[in-house]
Homo-oligomer: A and B are copies of this chain.
Amino acid sequence: MSKPLDRMTLLETFVRISERGSISAAARDLQISQASASRQLKELEERFGTQLIRRTTHSLRLTAAGHDLLGDARALIANWETLFEQHAGTDGEIKGPLKVVAPIALGQLYLANIALEFQIAHPKVNLEWHLEDNPIRFAEEGCDCWIRVGPIPDDTLIVRELGQIERLVVASPAYENAASMIMPEEVSSLPFVALAPYEGGHIRLYSDQGQTFELKPGTPVVTNNIFSVRKAALMGVGATILPRWFVEDDLNQGRLLHVIPTWHAPELRIRAAFLPARHQPKRLEAFLDAITQGVREIPGIKV
């Protein structure tokens, strides 16, 4: 007499269709006939009174409304799954898919270890490990956890502070006078390699005693790739600012010099973000614990 057809299922089908870009592919995934998938999408559109996906016979495209819905639908489905995990008399086992997005360099060099050890400790977790420095569309992409250095430009997310990243002024030992530098003014004489998102025209430095100094170096090279910054520094293109975790080895091996060691650039904040909800899935809680713990062991990251 009213409206059967599970609402949550309707959303799940819609999400699957959106991400596969095809009704038939989604139907195959969901083990239903392609006619069923088509009908479910239609039904959802009727209930919302809006077209969600524009079909052009051989290609699908989300409408604006569909686009908007996608993130919310994913979040709601995740909420249901968490609720079910929490209340269905399960054995509290940690399992299921977990999509994590992390910064590229830190992800490669340090976080991957943490994440992979986590996966080994919880073999039933299906880890999807994406490295990406740029902002993402968290909910739309079906992400579970986003680790980022710098701001989280999405106010629909919950943000957890993980630590502060110490950053040093470094330069190639080829700069013979660099080793003896003590005051930031002296650094101004060196050419500078800038990492695009963090350093603009001027760079503020802080001393251990809390003094500040505005550095306005020439920047012959600007790049958004931290590996290139390091390479440039190693090759002696100029001085630069890099996180301690990234240059710790270079400093120990003498490939780079820590210039004006009593001064440093502002710390960057590393954070984890995830969807707002009353409870997070167990696998996410566990992963956040592992990351929070693991980050403490990275050189130059303080809580």
A residues sitting closer than 8 Å to B (CB atoms) are 3-8, 47-50, 65, 68-69, 71-73, 75-76, 79-80, 83-84, 86-89, 139, 156, 158, 275-279
Contact = CB atoms under 8 A, between A and B. Distances in A.
A139 B278 CA distance: 9
Given A7-B6, A73-B83, A278 B278 contact: no
A83 B65 CA distance: 12
Contacts of A65: 87, 89
Contact of A156 (B3, B8, B84, B279): B279
Contacts of A8: 6-8
A278 B275 contact: yes
Given A6-B7, A86-B72, A277 B276 contact: yes
Contacts of A83: 69, 72-73, 76
Given A75-B79, A156-B278, A275-B278, 17 more contacts: A4-B6, A7-B80, A8-B8, A48-B87, A48-B89, A49-B88, A50-B88, A65-B87, A68-B86, A72-B87, A75-B278, A76-B80, A76-B83, A79-B79, A139-B278, A276-B276, A277-B277
9 contacts: A7-B80, A48-B87, A48-B88, A48-B89, A65-B87, A68-B87, A72-B279, A275-B278, A276-B276
A100 to B, nearest CB: 19
Contact of A89 (B49, B84, B86, B278): B49
Contacts of A279: 72, 156
A196 B156 CA distance: 38
Given A49-B88, A72-B278, A87-B65, A5 B7 contact: no
Contact of A4 (B4, B48, B75, B156): B4
